[in-house]
């Protein structure tokens, strides 16, 4: 064959291959014909249903064909093993694959999950769980005390390299199997929030058979739990598709569920939509039935459209706030920090950027959370004159261009923004507002790792961040002198004492009272600049019924969901 | 000719080596620490961060880290992502299909559309169709691709409902992204083909061919087109490189999971093994394409011979 | 000089001015540059001032291009945005052309191992898709205008180097270069007097088209959120900021988008005319 002919054939072959590849790119997720569950087996509640207002199974799967829900996620940067990785997005699909020992109700009460009952020692160092006896993992492995011990040991094992779950384990020492369905967990120091940890998907119970077989890196593609849905390992494409399939044997749900027996949906398909601007389009064209985290303007528009519904979920935990660096001038001066708070028109920001779909935040802990102290609301109303007066008192006089000056220094603050979570838009409004008080805000947008580094090093005067948690113990992470997210660089023995006292208090009311004092102190000392409480704006087609979110605000319960078609 | 190919491949090796060094150096200089980044949202204490750093092997001296990586590379092991712990080879394998398919389709579209329009414009030189086509081409070269993408989604997806707004799976999912990606390249090629052909059509041998009585079509296709294609083929090779960059934007807007998007995230998060793996992969492909392009010269111009 | 025939430069100029398209494009460009230079005089509002109108208000008499999310006037921001976009593009092109020409001259003229080193380095740069390189550089150096210039500029260097090297190689074929060398004319003189003139024409064309490419590249960087920093008005950043509001406020993205297109089109058209005028045989 002549060289030139060879070259041409090579080119043609390459192009043909390309065509073929594109033609059968990803196998389209065709709803597989429901596996073994006979559609006739309607999930009649076999015992008296507790909440009688359950949405009557009008869509009892007597209808032929499978019921599939398509859910739009944002982006998972890390892997998807809840015991290892820290992204909150992973919880959305995996919350239905795993059950937890206890569940948290909307009133912040713990109810039995995989554990039927539990006792806590008075010194808060020992938790004893009595487990349900009728639970099986999706791969048939029985669920028992040994499984619980294996799970906890796995999280603590350095080889697992857990990033988040391990931080929920406190000062874990060991677990003991007392009998087949009783397990005792021991801690070195009193650990008051262990139940809260146990209610989170990061401590969901996984099948020891599975994770021992696959090892830490591969297990995430072959996850096995006890939940109402099973992880379809054949259809998983990392960062592209996650598929859950109904667990036909499921019958051990907590009391927060509205029915018993298997779930209504047959399949849930998750796809990723990293670009916020195109999420609404995916919902509107029917590519997904539910889309998480819609931008406020799209949510506002869709809420007026009868074909769609917007499910607004308040997210507890810290609100969207800026840490104010108390060790870096000029924010090391309390008066300057307080002036910042008075000069911020939060309502204006929320109206312009968030379409009034978020409540105003007044303190380091949002109003929807357990242990919220509402006395902080009165502390810093928007008062520009007060801000100016404070700055005058502190010796900052207006300079020639309006920015205040003292001893030849301009009143100039540095902040680092990131491209997600509306931090840039908020930053711009803040800059304009602070300018009116004579404060100059210099903004820089950086990538996430650089922002983390800046925050840790204290290179900022202000640094806005989005964090989430449920237990007010998280305030310790924010304000304790050795806290991991202590980006205000607080070093205050009084607050340290409050926090350690709270950690050791058994009485819930008393504990919350201590945390309220922490919140009050944080605001009196102006350690943070709160902006808004998070609300998660989820859009869904009007045909989706029964979709509720857990008390953490991010994770949906798919168990009771039906689609009217 | 096999000697030529062998020599070319040999030359690639130091270049690839240099690339690994460049990427390694750059990513390490980017501010930020992967361990701190992973643990940032969980509020872990500095000791925990230090422990994770050691576990990830990030506290070894740089030279040793590089040596470890190269040793692995020669064994065919590209390491694992610092964030997902998945092997890089698996990440590339899974995302490669999507990106390659998109890039190949786009370049196919660009070639077919570009060459056809370019030839037509040249043949109908200075007429209104020439002007129209060239104006279209200039627009194609001048429009920011993400803006085009958003407009197309608005029109065909949300407005008319004909095409999906994102995702993958069927041929319908390929149309808009291919258009967006290929439009620019098509315009570049069209302009080049046109000017090239105009030049060639003025040559004497064309006049001779016509004088001999050959039909216009044969004149154009067999003689003019072939000779005007050399610079075009070069450009096609170069465009392939640009296309990979273009896939980043396209993949973001159309919610496709491809190498472009993965690479950008990896760079932003300092996930060194993934960055290295993808850059090397793209570089290898780029060099392959160039090699193919050079071989095509031999086909197009019988005067060129290798080895 | 005493010639009756016009010099090549003169001829080129005559050819250029005779092309209507190119002249129109040039006029448009001059208008754009003037608008950018005299922005403070021409723009109706301060581009950074919030609340000059309603948030996301449509085009009307007081705001010809409407207002953005914060009530800033879009027309003013487009005018000022031209300053930034054009300045960055010009700076980037200047940077890459100077570096590229120097490298290309050195590689082509001195040949041998210098040539090999430079060309391998260029191969390495080329094998990096432009946007990854730009992204890496911006991540490395931090965001901001200067670094954006660097990022965009570096990825364009290989084009200049290759082209210049090619021209130098063919110029070296000429006998008079050998002759000059033999007589003892210093290398630098040879390069400037004999080689450089052949290089100028293609480089000018590359620079002109490079401006268009640089503008588009800056916009892509801004689209990923790492180009210019808010609240600085810049066309790419305006597209990035406004793209979440496409449905309810089309004007926030359309006008900067049109500005980009018109500018880039004008630059391209002018560049085409320039290329045709300078040497119709050049197939760059």
Top-confidence residue, C221 or B223: C221
- Please tell me which residue, C142 or A395, carries the higher pLDDT value: A395
Residue of C119, C136, C244, C268 to mutate, testing the B interface (most B Cβ within 10 Å of its Cβ): C136
What are the C-alpha distances in Å from A162 to residues A88, A158, B42? 14, 8, 11
Q: Is A105 exposed, middle or buried (0-12, 13-18, 19+ CB in 10 A)?
A: middle
| Inter-residue contact A502 to A189 (CB < 8 Å) | no
Q: Do C253 and B231 touch (CB under 8 A)?
A: no
The C-alpha atoms of residue A306 and residue C55 are separated, in whole angstroms, by 26
Report pLDDT for A24. Answer: 41
Judging contacts by C-beta atoms under 8 Å, the chain C residues touching residue B279 are: 128, 132
pTM for this entry: 0.80
For residues A540 and A286, the answer to whether their CB atoms sit within 8 Å is: no
What pLDDT, on a 0 to 100 scale, did the predictor assign at position C218? 82
Give me the pLDDT at residue A35, please. 32
Identify the residue whose tokens are 């990854």: C132
Q: Binning pLDDT at 50, 70 and 90, where does residue A30 land?
A: very low
Q: How far is CA A149 from the centre of its chain?
A: 26
User: A111 has which bridge partners?
Assistant: A103
Instruction: Look at A190-199, A353-362, B156-165, C151-160 and tell me which has the smallest mean pLDDT.
Output: B156-165
Q: What is the structure's pLDDT at A95?
A: 92
**Contacts of residue B30 in chain C, CB cutoff 8 Å?**
136, 139-140
Percent of all residues in chain B with a pLDDT value above 90, rounded to a whole number: 0
Which residues of C are less than 8 Å from A443 in CB distance? 229-231
Q: Measured between alpha carbons, how far apart are the two ends of chain A, in Å?
A: 61
- Work out the percent of chain A whose per-residue pLDDT is above 70: 88
Q: Is a pLDDT exceeding 50 seen at residue A25?
A: no
Q: Cα(B242)–Cα(A109) distance, rounded to whole angstroms? A: 56
Mean of all residue pLDDT scores within chain A: 84
Is the CB of C245 inside 8 Å of chain B's CB atoms? no
Is B242 within 8 Å of B138 (Cβ atoms)?
no
Phi and psi (nearest 5°) for A102? -130, 160
Residue A428 CB partners (closer than 8 Å, separation 6+): A443, C70, C230, C231
Q: What is the mean pLDDT of residues B100-108?
A: 85
Cα C204 versus chain centre, distance = 11
The answer to whether the CB atoms of C225 and A277 lie below 8 A apart is no
Q: Rounded to an integer, what distance in angstroms lies between the CA atom of residue A143 and that of residue A155?
A: 17
CB atoms C139 and B279 under 8 Å: no
Do the Cβ atoms of A274 and B86 come within 8 Å? no
Helix (H, G, I), strand (E, B) or coil at A557: strand
Nearest 10 degrees: Cα torsion A368, A373, A376, A377: 40
Q: Is residue A222's pLDDT more than 90?
A: yes
Q: CA dist A152 to A133, A157, A186, A417, C273, Å?
A: 19, 9, 11, 37, 72
- Enumerate domains of chain C plus CATH numbers: 8-35+65-278 (1.10.3720.10)
β pairing state of A115-120 and A397-398 = unpaired
> Closest to B42 (Cβ–Cβ): which among A15, A22, A167?
A167
pLDDT of residue B4 exceeding 50? yes
Write phi, then psi, for A321 (nearest 5 degrees).
Answer: -145, 165
Cα distances (angstroms) measured from residue A1 to each of A6, A9, B1, B5, C109: 7, 10, 12, 16, 40
* Cis geometry, peptide bond prior to residue A330 (ω within 30 degrees of 0): yes
Token pair belonging to C43: 């723009």
Backbone angles phi, psi at C280, to 5 degrees: -60, -15
Tokens of A366: 């949002």
Domains of chain B with CATH codes: 20-74 (no CATH), 94-300 (1.10.3720.10)
For the segment A31-90, what is each residue's pLDDT rounded down to a tens digit? 333 333 333 333 333 333 333 333 333 333 333 456 899 999 987 667 889 998 887 788
DSSP state of C282: -
Q: Express as a percent the part of chain C with pLDDT over 90.
A: 12
Query: What mean pLDDT do residues B122-148 have?
Result: 79
Query: Tell me, what's the pLDDT at A47?
Result: 34
Please identify among residues 421-450 of chain A the ones whose CB lies closer than 8 Å to any CB of chain B.
446-450
Mean pLDDT, residues A291-301: 91
Q: Are C252 and C245 in contact (CB under 8 A)?
A: yes
Give the mean model confidence (pLDDT) for residues A442-461: 87
pLDDT tens sequence across A523-545: 999 999 999 998 889 999 999 99
B288 pLDDT higher than 50 = yes
Cβ-Cβ contacts under 8 Å, A298 against chain C: 244, 247
pLDDT tens-digit series, residues A386-431:
999 999 999 899 888 888 888 888 899 999 988 878 888 999 999 9
Handedness of CA A165, A166, A169, A174 (dihedral sign): positive
| Pair A270, A498: CB distance under 8 Å | no
Show the domains of chain A with their CATH numbers: 3-24+64-312+538-563 (3.40.190.10), 320-533 (3.10.105.10)
Q: Contact A504/A513 with Cβ under 8 angstroms?
A: no
Give the number of residues written for chain A. Answer: 565
Mutual orientation of helices B226-253 and B171-201 as an angle, nearest 10°? 150
Interchain proximity C132–B245, CB inside 8 Å: yes
- Region of poorest pLDDT, from A210-214, B186-190, B286-290: B286-290
CA distance B23 to B29: 10
Q: Using CA atoms, how far apart are residues A92 and A354, in angstroms rounded to an integer? A: 23
> Where residue C57 falls among pLDDT bands split at 50, 70, 90?
confident
- Give yes or no for residue A96 having a pLDDT over 90: yes
Tokens describing residue B131: 């002007």
Residue A133 and residue A190 in contact, taking contact as beta carbons nearer than 8 Å? no
ipTM of the complex, rounded to two decimals:
0.78
CA distance C262 to chain A (A): 25
Cis amide prior to C161 (ω within 30 degrees) = no
């Amino acid at each position: 064959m002549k060289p030139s002919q060879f070259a041409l054939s090579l080119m043609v072959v390459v192009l043909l291959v390309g065509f073929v590849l594109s033609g059968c790119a990803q196998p389209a997720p065709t709803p597989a014909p429901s596996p073994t569950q006979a559609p006739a087996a309607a999930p009649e509640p076999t015992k008296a249903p507790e909440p009688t207002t359950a949405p009557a199974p009008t869509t009892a799967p007597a209808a032929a064909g499978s019921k599939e829900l398509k859910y739009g996620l944002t982006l998972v940067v890390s892997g998807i093993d809840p015991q290892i990785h820290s992204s909150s997005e992973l919880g959305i699909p995996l919350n239905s694959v795993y059950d937890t020992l206890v569940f948290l109700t909307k009133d912040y009460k713990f109810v039995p999950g995989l554990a039927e009952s539990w006792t806590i020692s008075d010194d808060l160092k020992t938790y004893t769980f009595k487990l349900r006896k009728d639970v099986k993992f999706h791969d048939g492995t029985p669920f028992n005390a040994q499984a619980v011990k294996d799970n906890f040991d796995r999280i603590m094992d350095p080889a697992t390299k857990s990033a988040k779950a391990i931080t929920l384990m406190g000062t874990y020492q060991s677990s003991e199997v007392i009998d087949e369905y009783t397990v005792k967990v021991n801690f070195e120091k009193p650990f008051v929030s262990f139940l809260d940890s146990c209610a989170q998907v990061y401590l969901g119970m996984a099948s020891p058979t599975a994770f021992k077989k696959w090892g830490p890196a591969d297990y995430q593609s072959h996850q096995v739990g006890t939940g109402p849905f099973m992880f379809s390992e054949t259809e998983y494409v990392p960062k592209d598709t996650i598929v859950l399939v109904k667990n036909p044997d499921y019958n051990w749900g907590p009391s927060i569920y509205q029915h018993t027996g298997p779930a209504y949906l047959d399949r849930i398909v998750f796809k990723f939509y990293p670009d916020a601007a195109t999420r609404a389009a995916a919902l509107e064209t029917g590519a997904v039935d539910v889309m998480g985290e819609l931008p406020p303007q799209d949510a506002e528009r869709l809420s007026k459209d009868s074909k769609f519904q917007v499910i607004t979920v308040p997210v507890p935990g810290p609100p969207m706030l800026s840490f104010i660096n108390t060790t870096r001038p000029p924010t090391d001066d309390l008066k300057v920090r307080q002036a910042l708070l008075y000069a911020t028109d939060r309502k204006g920001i929320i109206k312009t950027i968030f379409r009034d779909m978020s409540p105003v935040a007044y303190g380091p802990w949002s109003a929807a959370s357990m242990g919220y102290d509402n006395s902080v609301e009165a502390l810093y109303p928007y008062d520009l004159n007060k801000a100016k007066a404070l700055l005058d008192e502190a010796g900052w006089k207006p300079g020639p261009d309006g920015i205040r000056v003292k001893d030849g220094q301009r009143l100039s603050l540095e902040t680092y923004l990131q491209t997600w979570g509306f931090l840039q838009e908020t930053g711009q409004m803040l800059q304009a507002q602070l300018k009116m008080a004579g404060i100059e805000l210099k903004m820089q947008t950086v990538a996430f790792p650089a922002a983390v580094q800046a925050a840790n090093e204290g290179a900022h005067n202000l640094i806005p961040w989005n964090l989430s948690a449920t237990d007010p113990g998280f305030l310790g992470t924010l304000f304790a002198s050795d806290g991991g997210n202590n980006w205000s660089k607080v070093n205050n023995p009084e607050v340290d004492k409050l926090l350690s006292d709270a950690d050791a208090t058994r009485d819930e009311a008393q504990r919350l009272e201590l945390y309220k004092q922490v919140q009050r102190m944080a605001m009196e000392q102006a350690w943070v600049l709160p902006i808004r409480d998070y609300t998660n704006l989820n859009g869904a087609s009007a045909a989706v019924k029964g979709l509720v979110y857990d008390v953490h605000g991010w994770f949906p319960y798919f168990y009771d969901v039906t689609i009217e078609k | 000719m096999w000697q030529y190919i062998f020599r070319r491949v040999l030359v690639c090796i130091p270049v690839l080596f240099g690339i690994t060094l460049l990427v390694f150096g750059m990513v390490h200089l980017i501010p930020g620490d992967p361990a701190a980044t992973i643990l940032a949202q969980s509020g872990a204490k500095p000791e925990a961060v230090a422990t994770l750093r050691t576990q990830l092997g990030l506290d070894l001296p740089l030279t040793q880290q590089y040596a470890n990586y190269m040793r692995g590379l020669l064994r065919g092991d590209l390491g694992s992502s610092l964030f997902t712990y998945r092997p890089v080879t698996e990440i590339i394998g899974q995302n490669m299909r999507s990106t390659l398919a998109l890039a190949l389709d786009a370049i196919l579209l660009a070639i077919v559309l570009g060459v056809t329009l370019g030839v037509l414009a040249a043949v109908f030189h200075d007429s209104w169709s020439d002007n129209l086509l060239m104006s279209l081409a200039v627009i194609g070269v001048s429009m920011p691709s993400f803006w085009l993408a958003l407009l197309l989604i608005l029109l065909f997806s949300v407005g008319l409902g004909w095409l999906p707004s994102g995702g993958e799976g069927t041929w319908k999912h390929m149309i808009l992204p291919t258009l967006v990606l290929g439009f620019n390249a098509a315009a570049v090629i069209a302009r080049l083909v046109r000017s090239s052909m105009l030049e060639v059509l003025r040559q004497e041998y064309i006049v001779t061919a016509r004088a001999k009585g050959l039909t216009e079509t044969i004149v154009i296709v067999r003689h003019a087109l072939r000779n005007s294609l050399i610079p075009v083929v070069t450009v096609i090779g170069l465009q392939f490189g640009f296309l990979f960059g273009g896939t980043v934007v396209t993949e973001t807007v159309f919610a496709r999971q491809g190498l472009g998007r993965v690479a950008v995230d990896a760079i932003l998060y300092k996930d060194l093994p993934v960055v290295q793996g993808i850059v090397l992969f793209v570089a290898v492909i780029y060099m392959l394409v160039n090699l193919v392009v050079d071989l095509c010269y031999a086909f197009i111009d019988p005067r060129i011979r290798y080895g | 000089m005493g010639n009756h025939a016009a010099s090549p430069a003169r001829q080129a100029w005559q050819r250029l001015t005779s092309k209507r398209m190119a002249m129109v494009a040039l006029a448009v460009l001059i208008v754009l540059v003037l608008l950018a230079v005299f922005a403070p005089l021409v723009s109706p509002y301060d581009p950074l001032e919030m609340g000059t109108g309603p948030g996301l208000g449509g085009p009307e008499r007081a705001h010809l291009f409407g207002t953005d999310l914060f009530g800033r006037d879009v027309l003013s921001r487009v005018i000022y945005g031209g300053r930034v976009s054009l300045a960055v593009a010009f700076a980037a092109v200047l940077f890459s052309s100077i570096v590229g020409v120097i490298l290309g001259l050195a590689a082509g003229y001195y040949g041998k191992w210098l040539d090999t080193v430079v060309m391998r380095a260029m191969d390495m740069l080329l094998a990096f898709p432009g946007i990854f390189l730009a992204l890496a550089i911006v991540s490395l150096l931090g965001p901001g205008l200067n670094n954006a210039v660097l990022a965009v500029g570096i990825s364009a260097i290989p084009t200049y180097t290759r082209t210049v090297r090619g021209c130098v190689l063919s110029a070296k074929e000429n006998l008079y270069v050998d002759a000059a060398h033999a007589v003892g004319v210093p290398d630098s003189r040879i390069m400037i007097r004999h080689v450089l003139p052949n290089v100028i024409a293609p480089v000018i064309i590359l620079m002109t088209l490079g401006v268009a490419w640089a503008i588009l590249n800056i916009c892509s960087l801004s689209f990923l959120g790492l180009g210019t920093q808010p609240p600085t008005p810049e066309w790419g950043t305006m597209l990035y900021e406004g793209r979440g509001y496409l449905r309810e406020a089309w004007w926030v993205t359309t006008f900067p988008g049109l500005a980009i297109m018109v500018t880039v089109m004008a630059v391209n058209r002018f560049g085409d005319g320039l290329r045709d005028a300078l040497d119709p045989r050049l197939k760059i």
